[in-house]
Amino acid sequence: MSLNRRNILTGAAAAASAAMLPRVAMGADSVKLGSILDTSGIFDAYGTPMDMAMRLAVNEINAAGGLLGRQVEVVAYDTQSDMALYTQYGQRLTRQDQVDVVHGGILSASREAIRQTMRKTRTLYFYNVLYEGGVCDRNIFINGVTPAQQVEALVPYAMGKSGKAVYILAADYNYGQITARWIQKFVADNGGDAVGVDFFPLDVSDFGSTIAKIQTVGPDLVIAPLVGGAHLSFFRQWAAAGMKDRIPLASTTMGVGNEHKVLTPEEGNGIMVAYNYSQELDTPANNAFKERWSAAHGDSSLIHEIAVSNYQGVMTWAEAVRQAGSLDREAVIAALESDLSIDGPAGTVTVDPKTHHAVLDVHIMEVKDQGMRVIETLPQRQPIDTQAVCDLQANPDDNTQYEIQI
């Protein structure tokens, strides 16, 4: 064989794909759980703790005897924060590894990259991240909070502590746009007035003019669903301008990737948020979860909202398999649709049969000394945004992500 460029490339590609094969030996009778997450690259702060949570859940399931008397085996791929790799690894999980279930995807774009592959190959898919809502597909189960679940709880509380005039600052992509609409709706429902809405591209890090503009309007409350490192500057500049003690601040995103641990107490204290999980949640379930995490992975300060969602997603699936007594997709979906619920670190998680979203406890919290102090727990909030557009009982063939009109 002559050594030309094409041969070398083929050889290198083969070697690379061989190297990427999972190291775990494929037991013939094990249950295969596929995981597809960004555990390197720019989203690894989200993905790595999610991966750790998934492995913790699987280890616990195996320690308790596995599922259906078989051990659960993890087939995990790192998508390196590259959306193109989702398509590739999604194909591989379903066609080559033929896993029994797939958990994973972080950004909405990554979910949409693999959702149709999962549907076509009839592989059950769990997306365990808070997101903008509206996905209606019988093959997917989603157990992160949606904007309405958060906003419905957060807005009345924050308005109660401040006043009726609300200014909204949101990230300029679908999550921010949709969340801003929900905030406007709930502000109006609570007798308030959205006096201003501004959207920011994800790389904007200078908020000086905006802070001046907010002051000309003079709202009672600012709600900021801002996303990412550049937007974190807003909270810093807001505090630096001395605004923090003048106008209260609330957010639906600050803290999902443990951002509140980056802000100093002077910058962060008092910001109001609403999530399914907080490390400071003082319940026996959460304290035990943190201990198990420390035993398995060491540092429990890495745990965040979507890591817990991922843990709860795996546990929900495992419970459904147990109840179904089978790995058959239809049997597991039937079990999931029978008002199945589990008790996770963040409280009870119930599958909503109509939308395949989750009914969850939402905790209203305030940032306090780089932690999230739980103020109030609103038990079992319905995903009302998705419920308004999606009914998989009546329309099981639906396969849409709805733009929810308010």
Partner 1 sequence: MDLYVVVLVEVLYGVASLILISAGLAIVFGMIKVINLAHGEFMMMGGYATITAVNLGVNVFVAMLVIAPVAVGLVGLVVERLVIRHLYGRLVDTMLATWGLSLFFIGLATMIFGNTTTGISTPIPGFAIGDYQVNGYNFFIIVAAALLLVAMLSVLKGTRAGLVARGTMQGPEMAAALGYSPDRIYMATFFCGSALSGLAGAILAPLVGLVPTSGGAYIAKAFITVIAGGPSLVAGLLSSASLFGVVNQAFTFATSPVIGEVALLVAAVVLLRILPQGVTGTFFKGKI
DSSP 67: B
Residues 359/363/364/367 CA torsion (nearest 10 deg): -140
Place of tokens 């709202």: 219
CA distance 394 to 251: 35
Q: Rank residues 120 and 246 by Cβ distance to partner 1 and give the closer one.
A: 246
Q: How many Cβ atoms are within 10 Å of 389's Cβ, its own excluded? A: 17
Q: How many Cβ atoms are within 10 Å of 292's Cβ, its own excluded? A: 17
Polymer length in residues for the chain: 406
The angle formed by the CA atoms of residues 297, 303 and 308, to the nearest 5 degrees, is 105
Tell me the number of residues near partner 1 by CB under 8 A: 42
Q: Of 87, 205, 301, 380, which lies in the binding site for partner 1, with binding defined by CB under 8 A? A: 205
Q: Of 94, 139, 143, 210, which lies in the binding site for partner 1, with binding defined by CB under 8 A? A: 210
Q: Rank residues 68 and 243 by Cβ distance to partner 1 and give the closer one.
A: 243
Q: Helix, strand or coil for residue 101?
A: strand
Q: Which uninterrupted H or E stretch holds 212?
A: helix 208-217
Q: Does 233 bind partner 1 (CB under 8 A)?
A: yes
What residues between 166 and 195 interact with partner 1 by CB under 8 A?
A: 172
Q: Does 243 bind partner 1 (CB under 8 A)?
A: yes
CA distance 45 to 37: 11
CA distance 289 to 308: 10
Q: Of 21, 24, 109, 212, which lies in the binding site for partner 1, with binding defined by CB under 8 A? A: 212
Q: Rank residues 151 and 169 by Cβ distance to partner 1 and give the closer one.
A: 169
The two three-digit tokens of residue 311, written as one number: 């843990």
Q: Does 236 bind partner 1 (CB under 8 A)?
A: yes
Q: Rank residues 60 and 82 by Cβ distance to partner 1 and give the closer one.
A: 82
Q: Rank residues 197 and 389 by Cβ distance to partner 1 and give the closer one.
A: 197
The two three-digit tokens of residue 167, written as one number: 């200014």
Q: Of 19, 63, 203, 394, which lies in the binding site for partner 1, with binding defined by CB under 8 A? A: 203
Q: Rank residues 143 and 258 by Cβ distance to partner 1 and give the closer one.
A: 258
CB of 74 to partner 1, least distance (A): 23
Q: Of 65, 201, 325, 396, which lies in the binding site for partner 1, with binding defined by CB under 8 A? A: 201
Place of tokens 């939308």: 355
Amino acid code (one letter) for 142: I
Q: Of 42, 109, 288, 295, which lies in the binding site for partner 1, with binding defined by CB under 8 A? A: 42
Q: Does 68 bind partner 1 (CB under 8 A)?
A: no
Stretch that binds partner 1, among 7-15, 20-28, 53-61, 232-240 (CB under 8 A): 232-240
Q: Is 377 exposed, middle or buried (0-12, 13-18, 19+ CB in 10 A)?
A: middle
Place of tokens 């399931």: 61
Q: Of 216, 282, 284, 397, which lies in the binding site for partner 1, with binding defined by CB under 8 A? A: 216
Q: Which residues of the shown chain bind partner 1 in the complex (CB under 8 A)? A: 41-42, 44-45, 172, 198-201, 203-206, 208-213, 215-216, 229-233, 236-237, 239-243, 246, 257-259, 262-264, 266-267
